[in-house]
Structure 1
Amino acid sequence: MNDTLSVNDFSDDVTDQAALFPLLSDKGDRRLIVEWIESHDSYTLVDPDQPVETATFDCCIVDGEMLQTHAETLRARKRKAEPALLPCLLLIPGADLSVIETDRGEIADSVVFETADEVVSMPIKKAELEWRVEALTRLRTQSLRLKKRTETLELFKQAVESSGHAIWMSDATGTIKYVNSEFESITGYSRTEAVGESPELISSGAMTDDYYSDLWETITAGDTWHEEITNQRRDGSQYVADQTIAPIVEDGEPKAFVAVQRDITERKEIEQRLSLYRDIVERLEDPIMLQSCEGEFRLVNDALCSFAGLSRDELLGDGEYEFMDAATATEIARQKQRVIETEQPVEYSVEPTFTHTDKEAVFYTSRYPYYEDGELTGTVAICRDVTNLDKRTRQLKVFDNILRHNIRNDVNVIRGRGKQLQDELDGDLKAAADVIVERANGLLTTSEKSRKITDGLSDPRDPAPVDLGQVVRNLAEETGQKWSNASIDVSAPAQLVVSASDSIDTAIEELLINAVVHNDSDEPRVSVDLTVDSSWGILRVRDNGPGIPEFDRNVLESGGAIETLSHGSGLGLWLVYWTITHSGGKIRVDDREQGGTEITIRLPLAAEK
Structure 2
Amino acid sequence: MELDSESSGTDCSCAHIQPVSSTTPVGETIEETIFESVDDGILVVDIEHDADGIEFSYRNANSAFESMTGLSTADIRGKSPEDVLDESIVGEVRKEYRRCIDARETITCEATLDLPAGRKTFETKLTPLFEDGAVHRIVGVARDTTERNRRERELRRTKALLTDIEQTANVGAYEVNLETDDVRWTEGMRRLFEVDDDFEPTVRSSLEFFHPDDRDEIAELYRSQLDDGQCRSIEATVLTATGTERSVSAYGYVTDIDGTAYLRGYVRDITAEKGDERALRRSRDYLSKTEAITAIGGWEFDCRTNDLRWSAGTRAVFEVADDYQPTIADAIEFYHAEDRDRIRSLIDRCRTHGEPYDEILEVRTADGNQRWIRSLGEPVESKGDVVALRGAVLDVTEPKRREEQLQHYKRAIDASTDLIYAIDLEGEFRFANPPYCYYHGVDQDDIVGRSLGDILGESDYDAVQERLERAANGETVQYRTTRTHPTRGERTLDCRYYPYRDDGEITGIVAIHRDVTAREDRATQLQVVDRLLRHNIRNDLTVIRGRATDLTDAVPPTATDAAEEILEQTDDLLRTTEKAQPITNVLTADSERDSVDMKTLAERLADAYADWEPDADVTVTAPEPTTATAVPEFSRALEELVRNAIIHNDCDRPTVDIRIDQAPKEVRVSVLDDGPGIPETERNVLEHGKAPTDLVHGNGLGLWMVYWVVHRSGGELTVADRRSRGTSVTAHLPR
Same fold (TM over 0.5): yes
Q: What CA RMSD, in Å, does the superposition of the two structures yield over aligned residues?
A: 6.5
- What does residue 351 of structure 1 align with? 480
Task: Indicate how the Cα distance of structure 1 residues 477 and 262 shifts in structure 2: closer, same or farther if over 3 A, else same.
Answer: same
Once the two structures are superposed, the pairs formed by residues 513-524 of structure 1 within 5 Å of their partners are: 518=648, 524=652
Contact kept, 8 Å, 1:349 with 1:363, in 2: the verdict is yes
- In structure 1, C-alpha distance between the alignment counterparts of 2:365 and 2:722, rounded to whole Å: 65
- In structure 2, C-alpha distance between the alignment counterparts of 1:87 and 1:404, rounded to whole Å: 112
1:206 shift after superposition? 0.8
Contact kept, 8 Å, 1:241 with 1:264, in 2: the verdict is yes
Q: 2:591 aligns with which of 447, 451, 461?
A: 461
- What does residue 525 of structure 1 align with? 653
Once the two structures are superposed, the pairs formed by residues 290-305 of structure 1 within 5 Å of their partners are: 301-305=433-437
1:412 is the counterpart of 2:535:
no
- In structure 2, C-alpha distance between the alignment counterparts of 1:181 and 1:92, rounded to whole Å: 57
* 1:1-42 CA distance string (max 9 Å, x none): 35567666xxxx5169x8553434678xx99999xxxxxxxx
Task: Indicate how the Cα distance of structure 1 residues 49 and 381 shifts in structure 2: closer, same or farther if over 3 A, else same.
Answer: same
Contact kept, 8 Å, 1:325 with 1:355, in 2: the verdict is no
1:21 is the counterpart of 2:21:
no
Amino acid at match of 1:269: K
- What does residue 694 of structure 2 align with? 565
* 1:247-267 CA distance string (max 9 Å, x none): 6677xx678667442525436
SS of the aligned residue for 1:571 comes to helix
Show structure 2 runs of 5+ residues with no match.
1-157, 187-196, 210-221, 237-247
After superposing the two structures, state which structure 1 stretch, 373-382 or 282-291, moved more: 373-382
Q: 1:269 aligns with which of 395, 400, 405?
A: 400
- In structure 2, C-alpha distance between the alignment counterparts of 1:317 and 1:216, rounded to whole Å: 58
1:477 shift after superposition? 2.0
- In structure 1, C-alpha distance between the alignment counterparts of 2:649 and 2:185, rounded to whole Å: 126
* 1:62-89 CA distance string (max 9 Å, x none): xxxxx999446974644659x9995758
- What does residue 607 of structure 2 align with? 473
Task: Indicate how the Cα distance of structure 1 residues 489 and 48 shifts in structure 2: closer, same or farther if over 3 A, else same.
Answer: closer
SS of the aligned residue for 1:414 comes to helix
1:398 shift after superposition? 2.6
Amino acid at match of 2:654: V
1:554 is the counterpart of 2:672:
no
Relative contact order: is structure 1 or structure 2 higher (C-alpha 8 Å, sep ≥ 6)? 1
- What does residue 525 of structure 2 align with? 395
- In structure 2, C-alpha distance between the alignment counterparts of 1:181 and 1:397, rounded to whole Å: 71
1:90 is the counterpart of 2:226:
no
1:314 is the counterpart of 2:450:
yes
* 1:158-183 CA distance string (max 9 Å, x none): 96797446556788x77678957358
Task: Indicate how the Cα distance of structure 1 residues 557 and 74 shifts in structure 2: closer, same or farther if over 3 A, else same.
Answer: farther
- What does residue 488 of structure 1 align with? 616
Amino acid at match of 2:574: L
- In structure 2, C-alpha distance between the alignment counterparts of 1:576 and 1:315, rounded to whole Å: 46
Show structure 1 runs of 5+ residues with no match.
35-43, 57-66, 100-111, 118-136, 220-224, 340-347, 481-486
How many residue pairs are counted as aligned between the two chains? Answer: 510
Q: 1:283 aligns with which of 411, 414, 419?
A: 414
- What does residue 243 of structure 1 align with? 376
- What does residue 555 of structure 2 align with? 425
1:552 shift after superposition? 6.0
TM-score by length of 1: 0.58
Larger strand proportion of the pair: 2
Task: Indicate how the Cα distance of structure 1 residues 154 and 206 shifts in structure 2: closer, same or farther if over 3 A, else same.
Answer: farther
TM-score by length of 2: 0.50
Task: Indicate how the Cα distance of structure 1 residues 167 and 592 shifts in structure 2: closer, same or farther if over 3 A, else same.
Answer: closer
- What does residue 360 of structure 1 align with? 491
SS of the aligned residue for 1:461 comes to coil
Task: Indicate how the Cα distance of structure 1 residues 508 and 49 shifts in structure 2: closer, same or farther if over 3 A, else same.
Answer: closer
- What does residue 39 of structure 1 align with? none
Task: Indicate how the Cα distance of structure 1 residues 425 and 192 shifts in structure 2: closer, same or farther if over 3 A, else same.
Answer: closer
SS of the aligned residue for 1:473 comes to helix
Contact kept, 8 Å, 2:427 with 2:452, in 1: the verdict is no
Task: Indicate how the Cα distance of structure 1 residues 53 and 209 shifts in structure 2: closer, same or farther if over 3 A, else same.
Answer: same
Task: Indicate how the Cα distance of structure 1 residues 282 and 91 shifts in structure 2: closer, same or farther if over 3 A, else same.
Answer: same
- In structure 2, C-alpha distance between the alignment counterparts of 1:589 and 1:335, rounded to whole Å: 47
Contact kept, 8 Å, 2:646 with 2:655, in 1: the verdict is no
Structure ID, larger Rg? 2
Contact kept, 8 Å, 1:168 with 1:177, in 2: the verdict is no
Contact kept, 8 Å, 2:235 with 2:250, in 1: the verdict is no
- What does residue 245 of structure 2 align with? none
Task: Indicate how the Cα distance of structure 1 residues 84 and 324 shifts in structure 2: closer, same or farther if over 3 A, else same.
Answer: closer
* 1:369-396 CA distance string (max 9 Å, x none): 9987899999988776554344334333
Contact kept, 8 Å, 2:357 with 2:378, in 1: the verdict is yes
* 1:243-302 CA distance string (max 9 Å, x none): 36376677xx67866744252543662464245334423432135567999999876544
Task: Indicate how the Cα distance of structure 1 residues 384 and 176 shifts in structure 2: closer, same or farther if over 3 A, else same.
Answer: farther
Contact kept, 8 Å, 1:501 with 1:579, in 2: the verdict is yes
- In structure 2, C-alpha distance between the alignment counterparts of 1:229 and 1:178, rounded to whole Å: 21
Task: Indicate how the Cα distance of structure 1 residues 450 and 403 shifts in structure 2: closer, same or farther if over 3 A, else same.
Answer: same
